[in-house]
Structures are given as structure tokens and as C-alpha cells.
A = this chain, B = another copy of it.
Amino acid sequence: MARLVEVTDADDPRLADYRDLRDTQLRRSLEAEHGLFLAEGEKVVRRAVAAGYPPRSFLMSPRWVEGLHDVLEAVDVVCYVAPEPLLEGIVGFHLHRGALASLARTPLPAVADVLAGARTVVVLEDIVDHTNVGSVFRSAAGLGVDAVLLAPRCADPLYRRSVKVSMGTVFSVPWTRVEDWYAAMTDLSAAGFRTVALTLAEDSVDLADAVVGAERLALVLGTEGDGLSARWQASADVRAVIPMAAGVDSLNVAAASAVACYVAVRR
């Protein structure tokens, strides 16, 4: 059973994990240094714990202690309880769903383990925006994609904003990072995947044609502004595009990835 500890001071040093949640720079260094990440809201907290991430502590307003009773009962850490205004003082803004957990990151699985048995995977190169990463995970999970691979510099799926926008699907879809960026496409081809890079390249074909008949398929998506690197475009098996009406270049990443997942899974 979690030990309930009432806190009365926003500067209490025991609450360091929860400080200034909107300060992206601070959070990145703090979370990396301590190997932690935050889950926010009852559902997401529940999913993070169920996925096996070890909780370091919890922080919530009194009314959430009841709703998360079963979760708290099964763990052996501290649950800090703070009235809503104090909570706001700690995290730096008003929390609509005032339940938080700080969880330990676990070692990322091997690429081979994540790909085992997967029929359709999404590969993200250097997506910068945490909202976009979260949205891709939600669409991938909902539309039946089996796994997600990330380039070394892709934004963190366990960053609070990613987790939230993903509706906690970052805890259910198997994912990891590729270590060898340069060989990522050829490694996937060697593993039996047809790699389909979404890009406005000269030789891009209609996505619907690009995916037909692929036994194993990897959909490859690039950075918001500049798109995929030249290396990944050149080393993918096929370059493909979602055909656009006149006058529009492209969809945003969240929309494009949703359409691409839908088309790919139904190939």
C-alpha cells in the first residue's frame, strides 16, 4: 500500500519530480538525469503502472486518492496528497485532472524484439513536436499498427505532452529506438519489411499502390518541416505520397500519419 503523505509547501524538496511541468528545457534535463517520466490523469497513470513502469511516487489532490485506490494499494511508494491550489503551485499551472505519477524509465527493448511478429510498423525519423509524437502513437494504436520505431533524435514518447496526447497508447504499442540511424532502412529491408518513405520526392508513387502486397510493411515518416533525410529517402524501398488536390502541398504530420496507417493496415 502506498504511504499517503500530506504536503503543505509547494517548495517541499521531496516534490522535485513534479516541479515546473511546463518548462520543457528543465523537464528534459531533469527527466533524463533521474531516468523518470510523468503520467497525468487517472487513466494515463493507471495505464503506465499496468504497463510495468515502476512508480517512484504519486502526487494528487485528495479527490483522486479514492479513484486510484486499487493502484495505490498495489505499490510500495509514497503518494503525496496536496489540495488543488498547492498542486498548481508545484507544477506551475492548473491541472484539469489532478493526479500525477512519477515513474522510472525502463531499458528500451531490442529492435528485433519489437519487430517480432509485427506485420505493420511506423518509423519516425526526427519528429520535433511532442504533440505530433503522441498523435502518431494514438493513430497507430487505434488503426492497428503493431509497433513504432524511432530514430535516435525523434522527440520522446514518454514526455508528459506525448503521453497525454497519445491517450496512454505509448504504454500499449511496442516501441523502441533504432541505434544505427544510417543503416535503419536497409536493416528493416533485411528483416523482411518493405520500407515505404512518405515524401514529396520526384519518384514518389501513390501510397495506396506502394503498400499493395507487402507481407511486412514499414511506413517511414520524417520531420515536420523538412521531411525525411536524404539518406532515409534514398535507402527506403519505395517513396510514396498521399495524393493532394491542386494548391495544397501536404497534410500535417498527425493527419498524414493517420491516413497512412489506415491505408497501410488495410493493404
Mark A residues whose CB is within 8 Å of B. 135, 138-139, 141-144, 165, 167, 169, 172, 242, 244-245, 247-252, 254-259, 262-263
Taking CB as reference atom, which chain B residue is nearest A258?
B255
29 contacts between A and B (CB under 8 A): A135-B252, A135-B255, A138-B248, A139-B251, A139-B255, A141-B247, A142-B242, A142-B245, A142-B248, A142-B251, A143-B251, A143-B259, A144-B245, A165-B252, A167-B248, A167-B249, A172-B247, A251-B258, A252-B254, A254-B255, A255-B255, A255-B257, A255-B258, A256-B258, A258-B258, A258-B259, A259-B259, A259-B262, A262-B262
Given known A-B contacts A252-B254, A254-B255, A255-B254, A245 and B138 have beta carbons under 8 A apart? no
Contact of A248 among B135, B169, B242 (CB under 8 A): B169
Expressed in whole angstroms, the minimum distance between the Cβ of A169 and any Cβ of chain B is 6
Contact A141 B255 (CB under 8 A): no
Q: Which 7 A/B pairs are nearest by Cβ-Cβ distance?
A: A255-B258, A142-B248, A144-B245, A142-B244, A139-B255, A259-B262, A141-B248
Chain A binding surface, main DSSP class: helix
Contact B245 A143 (CB under 8 A): yes
Taking CB as reference atom, which chain B residue is nearest A262?
B259
How many copies of the chain does the oligomer comprise?
2
CA distance A256 to B142 in the complex (A): 10
CA distance A252 to B143 in the complex (A): 12
Expressed in whole angstroms, the minimum distance between the Cβ of A102 and any Cβ of chain B is 24
Chain B residues within 8 Å of A142, by CB: 242, 244-245, 248-251
Which of A138, A139, A252 has the largest number of chain B CB atoms within 10 A? A252
CA distance A172 to B255 in the complex (A): 19
Contact A135 B172 (CB under 8 A): no
Expressed in whole angstroms, the minimum distance between the Cβ of A162 and any Cβ of chain B is 13
